Structure 1
Amino acid sequence: MTSPNKRVFICGSALRGQPDHQNLQSAEFIRPAKTQPIYRLHAAENGWHPAIYEVTEGGISIPGEVYELTQEQYEYLLANEPPHMYPGDVVLEDGEVLTAMLYPRELVEQHNWIDISNYGGWAAYKAAVVS
């Protein structure tokens, strides 16, 4: 019997301590995690939210958190994501494949949004630009 719940990798503004954490409602925190080093991280919409996408070279490992969401919590999360974000697969360090909110690379490049891949994750970037 399979669970109707969904495990999701969170690596942006819904992390613990970030302003959109309430979008997870009472989802169960499972563990901290990192992706395999095959992604880039940008600050989209002038730092309003993160934008991640997969690359074939020059990728980094993005830190985040794994949560287990009910179908209702997942639908709420999707409904509250910024425009253009979409659910897609990410590969974690340990090889587990989970859903995360991705962003079209074409839009990142079109708008030339800042690459924050070397900050150590979304929370570290936000702490650096606020302080």
Structure 2
Amino acid sequence: MARIFFNGQAMVGGPFHASVADALIGPVRTAPGHRFFSIDDVCPGLLPDPSVDTAIEGELYDVPLEHLRDVILPGEPRELELGVITLEDGTPCLSMVLARGELERGVHKEITEFGGWRAYLATLGRTS
């Protein structure tokens, strides 16, 4: 099993939640030190950055490694990669993070100020 932090479309109410619903542990936040980006307003990208003091909302799941390998990772966009982040309680866990080189491309809108994907989507008049 692998503990993974989801902060986008796999969360409760999102279009991909059904594939991980049984693995939900509950809502959590990252530790401070994370930036957040919108990838074409389709999914978010988390970026660990110790120079900032922001935490991002999400949900923690405990998924089988096979499910992670066979279902979750193949469905992720190329702009994201599997990484390790720190949760608010100090524990590390997996998360999909902005892939190396994506920040430098300068094409993703920073949405850190919203603190989470749902809050950002609300500004667009959407829930998922």
For Structure 1 versus Structure 2, the TM-score category normalised by the shorter chain is 0.7 to 0.9
CA contact (8 A) 1:53 1:105 kept: no
- Write the distance in 2 (CA, Å) between the matches of 1:106 and 1:82: 14
Q: Deviations over 1:84-104 (max 9, x none)?
A: 311111100101100000113
Which structure 2 residues correspond to residues 89-128 of structure 1 after superposition, within 5 A?
Answer: 89-104=84-99, 106-128=101-123
- Write the distance in 2 (CA, Å) between the matches of 1:54 and 1:94: 16
TM-score, scaled relative to structure 2: 0.87
1:87 to 82, 86, 103: 82
Structure 2 residue 67 is matched with structure 1 residue 73: yes
Against the structure 1 CA distance between its residues 41 and 119, is the aligned structure 2 distance closer, same or farther, given a 3 Å change threshold? same
1:51 to 35, 41, 45: 45
Residue identity over aligned pairs, in percent, reads: 29
CA contact (8 A) 1:18 1:123 kept: no
TM-score, scaled relative to structure 1: 0.85
Q: Which range moves more in the overlay, 50-59 or 106-115?
A: 106-115
Structure 2: segments with no counterpart, 5+ residues: none
Q: Root-mean-square deviation (CA), in Å? A: 1.7
Structure 2 residue 9 is matched with structure 1 residue 17: no
Question: Match for 2:32: what amino acid?
Answer: P
Aligned residues: 125
Report runs of 4+ in structure 1 exceeding 2 Å deviation. Answer: none
Deviation of the 1:31 alpha carbon: 1.7
Structure 1: segments with no counterpart, 5+ residues: none
